[in-house]
C-alpha cells in the first residue's frame, strides 16, 4: 500500500466507505467476465469522489458523490438500505400518528429453492402470489396497511427467494372475539394457495419488538424497518475470495438477469397513504446522498471537503478543503 499522511485520509466515519469501495473494486472483474462491460465500467467509477459538508469538530455530512446505482454494487446497496430504513421509519411513524394504537407484525413468506435459470420466474411467481394474498377477503379485513420487500439468499448454486413484510394492524386484531386474528397455520394455508404450489411453504409471523443497540433503545417500528429494508442480495454471495471465480461470475450473472428492471419493494393501505403524504419516492433507487436525517445544514457547515479514492492507499484521500461559501455568518449590527 502507498503511505499517505494520516491527516489526509478519511477516518472515523460511521458509514463503511472504504470497505464498500474495495468490495466494488472486486466486483468489476466479475462483471467483465460475465460479459456486462457497461456495468463493469459503472462499478469501476462508483464513489471515486465524495464531497462533504464538514464542521470544525470533524463531523461530516455527505453533500455529493458519483454513485453507479447498480443493483449488485456493494456501495450503492448499502446506501440504498440505509435510505430505505430511514424512509420506512418515517412512514411507520406517520401511520402511528394517524392510527392510534396501531401494532406491527413482521411476516416472512418463502418458497422452494430454485436454480439460477429459474430465479427470474420464481420472483415473478412470488410477487404475483403476494398480490393474490393481499386481495383475500380476510387479509383486507385484518390488515390496515403493509410494506413488502424481496430478499434472495443462496445455498450453493441454488437460490432461496422470499418476502419480508411489515403489516399494520389495529389493537383489536389480537382480540379473540374480533374475528381479525390470523393464526400461523392460516397464514401458511393462505400463502400456499396464493403461491399455487403443492407443498407447504415455510411462513413466519411475529410481533415486532423494540431492540437495544449501542446503549439506546430502537422502537419496534424502527427495528422492523431496518429488518425489512435489508439488501435484496448479500454481496458476500459473490464477492468472496474463497468462492471459485467461475461460480462467482455465474452468481453475478444469475442475480443481474433476475433483478433487471424488477421492483423489489411496495407499499399498500395505510403505509401507501403515508408514503404518498411524505413523498417517500422509490425505495428501490433514488437519491443515495441523503439517506438519513441531515445533521449538518448547508448554511452552518464550516467547510466543504472533497476526498478522492486512492486505490494504492486503499482509502479516500483529501483532495480539497475550502471554507463553505454558503455559510451564514451572524453579526450583531447596532441599530
All residues at 6 or more sequence positions from 283 whose CB lies less than 8 Å from its CB, including other chains: 80, 83, 84, 87, 88, 229, 264, 265
Q: Kindly list the distances between the CA atom of residue 225 and the CA atoms of 7, 90, 178, 187, in Å, as whole numbers in the listed order.
A: 37, 9, 27, 21
Which pLDDT tens digit goes with each residue over 188-223?
A: 999 999 999 999 999 999 988 766 555 555 666 667
Q: What is the pLDDT of residues 88-140, one digit of tens each?
A: 999 999 999 999 999 999 999 999 999 999 999 999 999 999 999 999 999 99
Taking the C-alpha atoms of residue 123 and residue 125, their distance in angstroms, rounded to an integer, is 5
Helix axes 74-98, 17-33, angle to 10 degrees: 120
Query: Alpha-carbon distance 266 to 279, whole Å?
Result: 14
| Cell numbers at 59, concatenated | 463531523
Confidence of residue 54 (pLDDT cuts 50, 70, 90): very high
Quick check: 1 pLDDT over 80?
Answer: no
Q: What is the pTM of this model?
A: 0.90
CB 23 within 8 A of CB 235: yes
Q: Say if residue 318's pLDDT is above 80.
A: yes
Cell 422502537 belongs to which residue?
Answer: 219
Domain ranges of the chain: 1-67+291-335, 81-288
User: pLDDT value at position 330?
Assistant: 65
Regarding the domain delimited by 81-288, which CATH topology (the fold level of the hierarchy) does it fall under? Alpha-Beta Plaits (3.30.70)
Amino acid at each position: 500500500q502507498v503511505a499517505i499522511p494520516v491527516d489526509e485520509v478519511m477516518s472515523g466515519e460511521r458509514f463503511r466507505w472504504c470497505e464498500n469501495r474495495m468490495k466494488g473494486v472486486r466486483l468489476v472483474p466479475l462483471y467483465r467476465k460475465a460479459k456486462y462491460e457497461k456495468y463493469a465500467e459503472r462499478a469501476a467509477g462508483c464513489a471515486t469522489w465524495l464531497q462533504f459538508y464538514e464542521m470544525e469538530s470533524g463531523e461530516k455530512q455527505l453533500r455529493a458523490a458519483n454513485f453507479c446505482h447498480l443493483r449488485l454494487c456493494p456501495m450503492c446497496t448499502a446506501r440504498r438500505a440505509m435510505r430505505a430504513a430511514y424512509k420506512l421509519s418515517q412512514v411507520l411513524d406517520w401511520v402511528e400518528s394517524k392510527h392510534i394504537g396501531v401494532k406491527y407484525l413482521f411476516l416472512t413468506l418463502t418458497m422452494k429453492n430454485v436454480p439460477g435459470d429459474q430465479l427470474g420466474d420464481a420472483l415473478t411467481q412470488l410477487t404475483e402470489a403476494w398480490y393474490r394474498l393481499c386481495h383475500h377477503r380476510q387479509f383486507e379485513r385484518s390488515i390496515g396497511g403493509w410494506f413488502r420487500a424481496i430478499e434472495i439468499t443462496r445455498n450453493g448454486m441454488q437460490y432461496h427467494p422470499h418476502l419480508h413484510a411489515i403489516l399494520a394492524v389495529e389493537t383489536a386484531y389480537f382480540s379473540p372475539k374480533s374475528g381479525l386474528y390470523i393464526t400461523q397455520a392460516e397464514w401458511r394455508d393462505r400463502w400456499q394457495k396464493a403461491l399455487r404450489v403443492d407443498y407447504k411453504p415455510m411462513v413466519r409471523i411475529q410481533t415486532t419488538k423494540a431492540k437495544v443497540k449501542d446503549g439506546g433503545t430502537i422502537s419496534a417500528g424502527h427495528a422492523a424497518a431496518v429488518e425489512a429494508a435489508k439488501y435484496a442480495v448479500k454481496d458476500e454471495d459473490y464477492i468472496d475470495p474463497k468462492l471459485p471465480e467461475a461460480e462467482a461470475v455465474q452468481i453475478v450473472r444469475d442475480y443481474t438477469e433476475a433483478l433487471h428492471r424488477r421492483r423489489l419493494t411496495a407499499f399498500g393501505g395505510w403505509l401507501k397513504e403515508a408514503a404518498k403524504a411524505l413523498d417517500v419516492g422509490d425505495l428501490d433507487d433514488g437519491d443515495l446522498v441523503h439517506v438519513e436525517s441531515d445533521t449538518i445544514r448547508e448554511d452552518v457547515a464550516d467547510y466543504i471537503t472533497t476526498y478522492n479514492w486512492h486505490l494504492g492507499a486503499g482509502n479516500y484521500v483529501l483532495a480539497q478543503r475550502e471554507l463553505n461559501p454558503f455559510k451564514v455568518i451572524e453579526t450583531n449590527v447596532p441599530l
